[in-house]
Amino acid sequence: MKEIYLDNSATTALSEGVKARMREVMELYGNPSSLHFMGNAAHDVLEMARRQVAASLGIPRPEPGELIFTSCGSESDNLAILGTAFAKPRRRGMRVITTDSEHPGAENAFRLLESQGFEVVRIPTRGGVLDFDRYAAALNDKIFLVSIMTVNNETGAMYDIKRAFTMAKNRNPDIVTHTDAVQGYLKCRMTPKSVRADLVTVSAHKIHGPKGVGALYVSRDSLRRRDIVPLLLGGGQENGFRSGTENLIGIAGFGQAAEEGSASLEENLGKLASLRELTLKKLAALPLRPNLPAGKCAPHILNYTLPDIRSETMLHALSARGICISNGSACSSHSHHQSAALTAFGLSPAEIECSIRISFSVYNTLADVDALADALATELSRLVRRGDARGCAKGG
């Protein structure tokens, strides 16, 4: 049975180049902070990877502190959001702006800030579009941080962060702008400079790199203003922003993945767009409802609502056929919480229960899409006949 992996928003396969690079670095077991020749060799690997990841973000020569390696995208989000909040002198009514559809790595950081007395304003994103009237009304002199994701991980909606961040900077140049770009990184044409972002979260395992390593870009303006403080204290690694001995093997893999993805960006975007368009065409013949963003959308994510069948039932049926898709964010799939992103999008609880996500990588083929369409057609017919219909798509 051929395995078809269409859950690339959850994680991606390692590229062959990344595997080779990580195997090579496994032989370099020196600590990058040590001063002997083995430490120097490890340090060189670390800084090479930093340059590779920074270059993929349009930063050819990163300054100290401009790119901080972390353990994952969620840690980078926490460092950006909490690190910014804790760096500010506390005063009454301090306010941050975000959306109602952020990844849990950001959303739970905002909930912590609320418990500490900060005001968090969540802008609606119904239909995958930021409500700019509500956003403009929320911008005031108490705002110190605006944090809006680049691409939603469940719907593929691309938010107009350039417009949002420009409005914030026009209001006050010292407002810190952050984007969780984990799903948009090397899936769209975006650099921190192009969208006026001070802080950008990225992760390796969404671009065919290893799990357990992420990064936070920090603009030179933010470094100069000392906009963030560290959350992990210790030996002062990562220019003092993230203590702890660096995950050299993972970071080297990240650098390799970033270099590969950056070099083939245009080709990859074209391939992902072709996969998306074929999927929309093939599945249009099936009794599925696509949950398409009203605005711009990323090329690698599609969300559908099934006709009266729970998504979990369909996932197991497709998995038995060797096909992997998902029913939402992998980071919260076992938490039994209703999807905030799909709720914000406008779906009812019953519709969310029957929604699936299909997400591509450049390793997928048009034949994979054909196989998915055939399997869905077969399973939809079988499950309806078996009596698994539950009234999901009707909101019942």
How far from 10 is each of 217, 357, 375, CA to CA, in Å?
22, 10, 21
Q: Which residues are catalytic?
A: 331
What is the phi/psi pair of residue 286, to 5°? -105, 155
In degrees, to the nearest 5, what angle opens at C-alpha 78 toward C-alphas 31 and 324?
Answer: 90
Q: Is 212 left (phi over 0), alpha (psi -120 to 50) or beta?
A: left
Cβ–Cβ under 8 Å, residues 51 and 62: yes
Which residues sit opposite 146 in a β-bridge? Answer: 97, 177
Q: How would you list the strands of the sheet with 176-180, edge to edge?
A: 67-70, 214-218, 199-203, 176-180, 143-147, 95-99, 119-123
- What's 201's DSSP letter? E
d(CA 275, CA 5): 13
Query: Helices (DSSP H) in the chain: which residue ranges?
Result: 16-25, 37-56, 73-87, 104-115, 132-138, 161-171, 192-195, 220-225, 248-263, 265-283, 311-320, 340-345, 349-353, 366-386
